[in-house]
Amino acid sequence: MNLNRRGGDPYGGAVGYFSFSGSADTAITIRTLVVKDGIAYVQAGGGIVADSVPETEYEETVNKARAGLRAIELAQAGLESLQEYTRMFNLSDEELNLCILGVGDGPASFNSEMNALGHTVLSIDPIYSFSRAQIEGRIEENYDTLISQVERKL
């Protein structure tokens, strides 16, 4: 029985690939996080068997979804939004329509939100002088330290 009435979503099947070299890789999509048009959709599910307890299955599904929701929270941590920048710098609508210069502002959702609205943000930050490989190297060097700091804040 298929209870997924919406259809078209990756749920309860498999996602993967088959290559021309004959290799393949697949995964069961019990937990998914799909981002479409700037909106994240978290989906979770499980299997119902003869001795399933509906309340327990529901609780398990909610717990599975928490991982995706937590991933979104961690991804957004430290990324200031348009609303936060507007409040923090007391920006008026008129000022938001000007070209905004961000100096040392680092990654922020403010920039992408402004660009999506057709506004201009010019960011000057030392991070942009590094190559992708250099940035990835620094992340690799500091990953464990950063994760432990985040976990202490949870």
Q: Is the pLDDT of residue 110 over 80?
A: yes
Q: Is the pLDDT of residue 79 over 50?
A: yes
Q: What is the pTM of this model?
A: 0.40
- Looking at the structure, do residues 94 and 136 belong to the same domain, yes or no? yes
Looking at the DSSP assignment, which residues form a beta bridge with residue 40? 35
Q: Is residue 9 part of a domain?
A: no
Find, among 81, 85, 76, the residue nearest to 40 by Cα. Answer: 76
- Looking at the structure, do residues 114 and 88 belong to the same domain, yes or no? yes
Looking at the DSSP assignment, which residues form a beta bridge with residue 121? 100
Query: Could you read off the pLDDT of 49-74 as tens digits, one per residue?
Result: 888 888 888 888 888 888 888 877 76
Amino acid identity, position 130: F
Residue 129 per-residue DSSP state: G
Which of helix, strand or coil describes residue 44? strand
- Looking at the structure, do residues 66 and 94 belong to the same domain, yes or no? no
What domain range is 57 assigned to?
A: 14-76
Q: Is residue 8 part of a domain?
A: no
Q: Is residue 43 part of a domain?
A: yes
Domains identified in the chain, total number? 2
Query: Could you read off the pLDDT of 7-22 as tens digits, one per residue?
Result: 555 555 678 888 898 8
The mean-pLDDT minimum among 33-42, 101-110, 133-142 falls in: 101-110
